[in-house]
Amino acid sequence: MLFKVFPDHVLETVVKAEGLNILTKEGNRYLDCTAGGTHYAIIGWSHPLVLEAMREQLSRFTHMDYKIWRDSNTEELASLLLSRNEHNLDMVYFCGNSGGEAAEASMKMSYQVHYDSGRPEKTWFISRTQSYHGSSTDAMAMGERPNLMFYQPLFPNNRAKVTEHNQYTQKREDESLDDYAKRSAKELETKILEIGPHKVAAFMGETIMGGLIGDVPPAPNYWKYIREVCDRYNVHLIMDEVYCGTGTSGKIYCCDWDGVTPDFLLLGKTLAAGYAPVSAVVTSNEIYDVISNGQGRLQHTTTHQAYSLGIAAALAVQRIIHDDQLLDNVIYIGNWMREELAKRLSSSKYWRNIRGRGLRFSLEVQGSERDLFTERVSRRLRDQYKILVSGKWHRFSFTPSLLISKGEAELVVDRFCQCFLEEERH
């Protein structure tokens, strides 16, 4: 018998998914603006170019361990991921299946670099409150997802957190955005000094605060100030783009909006867009050289790293996404949707703000009944118009396929505003 994640939920049975649409055995056709619920389906389902690439790969082989064999697809995908040189990174390690695996791989890579450089005492990792980096134990310890906190007794001890970077809840009224960015970086510096710089390996953060908080971009210059602090104390900077990478922000890498180069950049769910589970750590030749000249190899491996069928799928997905016209359209559609939602809803008593980048954005609501309100609106939208938007807690999160058309975007905005205003009146 199947073990259900939510034992009391009655689920519909999916029979087909194509484009942005999900068809069920129960006769429903849903327009999905959640990219599969967990935001992975960034080019929708059943894209013919991806399916063809997977069929061709199936005719060759499904997987060969890339520690032992070369695969031209793996090398081509790495080159493609490095082709937009704003980020100044030049090495890709295909570490496994999930974003959580990428988070843990980057932590082990960071520690090995410190170890091989004669700094084995650098075992501490710092992250932020209200963040999420995966559900394996070490990744959970770096995040702060409330429903997972009962696992805290299992977490390693050498983990620390600074306050979430959220201008909407943490910035003081008497400070500018730049002052707030500097104060956030100063908090990291204070934490490093409290632990001891000789003990801290890396700082990890989502480039934009993700779905847990609701797509909060950093204050201008925040990441530049963070980079300066990390450089000052020989602390690696790990930027998590499992949620906001590979074109979803309108640039291939979300950190390119900030003009900052991390030491490690994490990719996961959007890399192969749900056609296969593949994750990666993007890093630099400098990191590679330390490991190569130290122990001579990376001391981290998984059975399905660079899973061959997944790499073929990811290569096809990224060929679609690495297109200037597509990226420009992501920015255009995202800006249009945010502006239209603000124009129609900003006078509502529930409205607080709308924020994000590209097609990763959230509308935040306020009021004592906000959690109930977001649930009611998303339920009405689903039941009445068969449109899926993630509405929970304090925000509605919009993460549609990057291939969403203007007509589909207009339909989503029209129906969402209708449901929002109808529920406000009740």
- Is residue 87 predicted with pLDDT exceeding 80? no
**Assigned token pair, 61:** 């082989």
Q: Answer with the residue of higher pLDDT: 405 or 146.
A: 405
User: What's the pLDDT score for residue 318?
Assistant: 98
Same domain for 316 and 393?
Answer: no
Let me know if residue 307 belongs to a domain: yes
Which residues lie closer than 8 Å to 76 by C-beta, 6 or more apart?
A: 315
Span 379-386, average pLDDT: 98
User: What's the pLDDT score for residue 7?
Assistant: 82
Q: For residue 355, what is the domain's CATH number?
A: 3.90.1150.10
Number of domains into which the chain is organized: 2
> Please, are residues 14 and 22 in contact by the beta-carbon 8 Å criterion?
yes
User: What's the pLDDT score for residue 9?
Assistant: 80
Same domain for 264 and 368?
Answer: no
Confidence of residue 4 (pLDDT cuts 50, 70, 90): confident
Same domain for 217 and 305?
Answer: yes
Indicate the residue among 303, 321, 339 that finishes a domain. 321
Confidence of residue 330 (pLDDT cuts 50, 70, 90): very high
**Distance from C-alpha of 218 to C-alpha of 208, rounded to nearest angstrom:** 6
**Distance from C-alpha of 181 to C-alpha of 333, rounded to nearest angstrom:** 28
Let me know if residue 419 belongs to a domain: yes
User: What's the pLDDT score for residue 10?
Assistant: 82
- Is residue 88 predicted with pLDDT exceeding 90? no
User: What's the pLDDT score for residue 212?
Assistant: 82
User: What's the pLDDT score for residue 5?
Assistant: 83
User: What's the pLDDT score for residue 19?
Assistant: 97
User: 10 Å Cβ neighbour count for 268?
Assistant: 29
Indicate the residue among 321, 341, 370 that finishes a domain. 321
Phi, psi of 95 (to 5 degrees): -90, -20
Same domain for 354 and 290?
Answer: no
**Distance from C-alpha of 236 to C-alpha of 227, rounded to nearest angstrom:** 9
CA 227 to chain centre: 20
State which residues form the domain around 190. Answer: 52-321
Phi, psi of 31 (to 5 degrees): -90, 115
- Is residue 139 predicted with pLDDT exceeding 90? yes
> For the segment 105-127, what is each residue's pLDDT rounded down to a tens digit?
999 999 999 999 999 999 999 99
User: What's the pLDDT score for residue 57?
Assistant: 98
Confidence of residue 40 (pLDDT cuts 50, 70, 90): very high
Span 304-332, average pLDDT: 97
> Please, are residues 249 and 258 in contact by the beta-carbon 8 Å criterion?
no
Same domain for 253 and 201?
Answer: yes
Same domain for 233 and 370?
Answer: no
Let me know if residue 3 belongs to a domain: no
Confidence of residue 1 (pLDDT cuts 50, 70, 90): confident
Same domain for 69 and 80?
Answer: yes
Same domain for 345 and 413?
Answer: yes
- Is residue 426 predicted with pLDDT exceeding 90? no
- Is residue 186 predicted with pLDDT exceeding 80? yes
Task: Report the alpha-carbon angle 386-391-393, nearest 5.
Answer: 160
Task: Report the alpha-carbon angle 43-312-95, nearest 5.
Answer: 95
> For the segment 295-315, what is each residue's pLDDT rounded down to a tens digit?
999 999 999 999 999 999 999
**Assigned token pair, 89:** 């990174």
Span 45-74, average pLDDT: 96
Let me know if residue 46 belongs to a domain: no
User: What's the pLDDT score for residue 84?
Assistant: 85
Same domain for 309 and 334?
Answer: no
**Assigned token pair, 349:** 């008593």
Span 1-7, average pLDDT: 84
Indicate the residue among 255, 287, 321 that finishes a domain. 321
Span 88-104, average pLDDT: 95
Smallest CA-to-CA distance from 133 within 67, 65, 202 is with 202
Let me know if residue 7 belongs to a domain: no
> Please, are residues 396 and 423 in contact by the beta-carbon 8 Å criterion?
no
Span 264-273, average pLDDT: 98
3-state class of 129 per DSSP?
coil
Average pLDDT, the chain: 96
**Distance from C-alpha of 22 to C-alpha of 266, rounded to nearest angstrom:** 29
Let me know if residue 266 belongs to a domain: yes
> Please, are residues 355 and 218 in contact by the beta-carbon 8 Å criterion?
no
Tell me the pairing of strands 264-267 and 236-240. parallel
Q: Please give the share of the chain, as a percent, with pLDDT higher than 90.
A: 93
**Distance from C-alpha of 246 to C-alpha of 254, rounded to nearest angstrom:** 8
- Is residue 30 predicted with pLDDT exceeding 90? yes
Same domain for 258 and 121?
Answer: yes
Same domain for 316 and 329?
Answer: no
Let me know if residue 181 belongs to a domain: yes
Same domain for 337 and 317?
Answer: no
Rg over alpha carbons for the chain, rounded to the nearest Å, is: 22
> Please, are residues 413 and 340 in contact by the beta-carbon 8 Å criterion?
yes
Instruction: Dump the DSSP string for 236-300.
Output: EEEEE-TTT-TTTTSSSSGGGGTT---SEEEE-TTTTTTSS--EEEEE-HHHHHHHHHTTSS-S-
Torsion of CA 241, 246, 251, 255, to 10 degrees: 20
Let me know if residue 215 belongs to a domain: yes
